[in-house]
Each structure stands twice: as structure tokens, then as C-alpha cells.
Amino acid sequence: MVARREKVILVAGGAGFVGSHLCKKFLGQGHKVTCVDNFLTGDISNVRALLDDPNFQLLRHDICDPHKWPGPIDEIYNMACAASPSRYQSDPIHTAKTCFQGTLNLLDLAEEKNARILQSSTSEVYGDPEVSLQSEDYLGNVNICGPRACYDEGKRISETLMWEYGTHRGVETRIARIFNTYGPYMHPEDGRVVSNFVVQALQGDDITIYGTGQQTRSFCFISDLVEGLTRLMASGEKMPVNLGNPVEFTMLELAEQVIAKTGSRGSKLAYQPLPQDDPQQRRPDITRAKMILDWAPRVSLSDGLDMTVSWYRDRLIADRDAAAIAGQ
């Protein structure tokens, strides 16, 4: 029997920011891709260019709902879940359900099809960490009954489900703990900090700093994350692996860089209240990713912002032109 070389890959959340990059990468490698998305935060423009590709299939579907999937599936990337705090908090029950019921449905599918499955978990499983450099064995500091809990606790139970199916049902599970990732194809109105700052600066609007702006994040460029995710899927590692860029910035430092990169003249800093439970620091320890996947991020924040600003500049012009035509 001749082994199949091209794979059938299901990308849940494939019309979102990270998922759409995965769909494009896999199609470019000659694989067949089924993109499943309920379009909660996904954008058809992220995958429109793929619709004519005979290897691409788009299915509007909520992973919380049951579905019969015909044919073989080799790999499942579960990227389905709103990731922006404002978006996942707008329907917290659905967010929690997506993480639990949605992941459970995809795990059952992986078991049925004998497929590998990778879950997009998050640095949010560490909550508001009490330690700098969060390694995978840090158990976290999560508020169970707060506005972020639907996502943080949702992702924690999704990891537990993955681990149980991996341990007791023999499913080939992979868990990526993704730290803040940015880049082209994140929706301009997503609400996360990089897209907010870049869009505000390009439009000459004030830059919204929540709290003092001294809280930190570590920003990973999308191409680095995609490389890490695919390496993790190809590995034999069932325990969680941090994927992120360990270089840490305050939000004020990020704002300065964005203003400089966009050449924004009109934008000033506008301080707004810090949202409840907003983590004060976040920085991945990527020792395991280096060791197991031979992976480390390559793109600096400066280079990543150049590519990101350029994409948003074009996107805002395209959106403005489309609005002008629609208004005619």
C-alpha cells in the first residue's frame, strides 16, 4: 500500500487570526484543509483567497454542537475560541462551553478518526502569575470567579481533557500554552493591545493605556508561533509546552515603539482604568520548547511591528475604500 503523503487537516477556528495562518501554511504544503468556524470573531476576509483552492473546505459550524464528519482526518488543530478579553467576556458561558464541550467534541473526533489533536491553550492558565518567567510546572494564580475565569478556567479544563484522553484513551494529544502573539490578520477591532495601539496610531487617535502601563507582556510574532505549533504537532510530546517570546515589554514601551513605527503625530497616551484581574506580568520560560522542539522565536518586536504596521495600513485603506463604495 502506498502511504498517503498529503494530510487531511482540520483547523477549528480557522478563520481567526492564528487559524487562518495555519490554513494558509498547510495548503501551501499541499495538504487538504477543512476550516471550521462559527465566525464569532473570525473574518471571512482572512480565508477568502483560499476559497477557490480545491484542497480547501470551509464549514460554518460551532464546535460546541455535534457534527458527523465524513472521511479521514489526520490532524486537528483546535484554535477555536475568542482570545481577546473583551470578546471572550462578552458571552462568558459560550466561552467556557467552547473550551469544554467544544474541546470534548474534537477529542471524540480525534479518537474516532485516529487523528492527532493539538489544543491552543494559553499563558492565561497561569492567571496573574506570582513568579517571573512562567515555566510549565508553575501551577498558576487564577481567580475562579472573575471576568477572565471563563477563558482561564476554560482553557485549564481543556488541558485536563486533553491530558485525560492522551493518558487513558490513547489519543495523540498536544497542548500548546500560547503567550501573546500578534501580526497580520488579527482583526482591526479585535481589542487586544497590539491591534488597538497600531490602529489607533495609524488613525491619529489616542493610544489607550489601561492602568499605569507598567504591566508587562512578551510578544511573539505570528510566523514564530506557527512554526512552534507545527513542530509541537510533529513531536511526541503530550505534556504542555510554552510557546512565546521571552523578551518582556511594558505597555508603555510598546506604545512608544508603535508611535515611532507608525510615525503617528496626533496620538497621545490616554490612560483608562485597568480591567479587573489584568495580569501584571507575563514572560514564558521556553526551555522545554527549545529542548523538545528545537524551537525559539526569531522575529524581534521591532521587525514584527514593521510587518504588522504595514499590513494594518493596507487593511485600513481597503476597509475605508469598501465603506466608501458601499455608501455610494
C-alpha cell at 230: 507545527
| DSSP-derived 3-state class of residue 48 | helix
- Report 56-85 residues binding ligand NAD (CB under 6 A): 62-64, 79-83
> What are the two backbone dihedrals, phi and then psi, of residue 57, each rounded to the nearest 5 degrees?
-130, 135
230 binds ligand UDP (CB under 6 A): no
- Report 190-229 residues binding ligand UDP (CB under 6 A): 192-193, 196, 208-210, 215, 217
Q: Where are the alpha helices (DSSP H) in the chain?
A: 17-28, 44-47, 85-88, 92-97, 103-113, 149-168, 193-202, 222-234, 251-262, 287-293, 301-327
The C-alpha atoms of residue 314 and residue 308 are separated, in whole angstroms, by 10
> Whose grid coordinates read 513605527?
261
- Report 269-298 residues binding ligand UDP (CB under 6 A): 275, 278
**Looking at 151, 165, 185, 312, which residue is catalytic?**
151
Q: Which is nearer to ligand UDP, 57 or 216 (CB)?
A: 216
Residues touching ligand NAD: how many (CB under 6 A)? Answer: 28
Q: What is the maximum alpha-carbon separation in the chain?
A: 65
Binding ligand NAD (rule: CB under 6 A), the pick from 22, 26, 41, 103 is 41
Q: Which is nearer to ligand UDP, 101 or 208 (CB)?
A: 208
39 binds ligand NAD (CB under 6 A): yes
Q: Is residue 33 a contact partner of residue 56, using CB atoms and an 8 Å limit?
A: yes
Binding ligand NAD (rule: CB under 6 A), the pick from 9, 11, 19, 209 is 19
Q: Which entry of ligand NAD, ligand UDP, none binds 19, CB below 5 to 8 A by partner kind?
A: ligand NAD
Task: Considering only CA atoms, give the Rg of the chain.
Answer: 19
Q: For ligand NAD, what does the binding mask look like between residues 127 and 166, x meaning CB under 6 A?
A: ----------------------------------------
> Whose grid coordinates read 458571552?
91
Q: Is 271 annotated in the active site?
A: no
Binding ligand NAD (rule: CB under 6 A), the pick from 34, 103, 122, 215 is 122
Q: Which is nearer to ligand NAD, 34 or 120 (CB)?
A: 120
The C-alpha atoms of residue 202 and residue 267 are separated, in whole angstroms, by 9
Q: Which residues contact 326 (CB under 8 A, 6 or more apart)?
A: none
- What is the nearest approach in angstroms of ligand UDP to the Cβ of residue 119? 18
Residues touching ligand UDP: how many (CB under 6 A)? Answer: 14
- What is the nearest approach in angstroms of ligand UDP to the Cβ of residue 327? 28
Q: Residue 57 CB: number of other CB atoms within 10 A?
A: 16
Q: Which entry of ligand NAD, ligand UDP, none binds 217, CB below 5 to 8 A by partner kind?
A: ligand UDP
Cα–chain-centroid distance for residue 280?
A: 20
The C-alpha atoms of residue 239 and residue 237 are separated, in whole angstroms, by 6
Q: Is residue 151 a contact partner of residue 124, using CB atoms and an 8 Å limit?
A: yes
251 binds ligand UDP (CB under 6 A): yes
Q: Which is nearer to ligand UDP, 196 or 230 (CB)?
A: 196
CA angle 314, 220, 191 (to 5 degrees): 55
- What is the nearest approach in angstroms of ligand UDP to the Cβ of residue 201? 11
Residue 284 per-residue DSSP state: B
Q: Residue 132 CB: number of other CB atoms within 10 A?
A: 11
The site for ligand NAD (CB under 6 A) is made up of 12-13, 15-19, 37-42, 62-64, 79-83, 98, 102, 120, 122, 178, 180-181
* Interface residue list for ligand UDP (CB under 6 A): 84-85, 180, 192-193, 196, 208-210, 215, 217, 251, 275, 278
Active site residues: 151
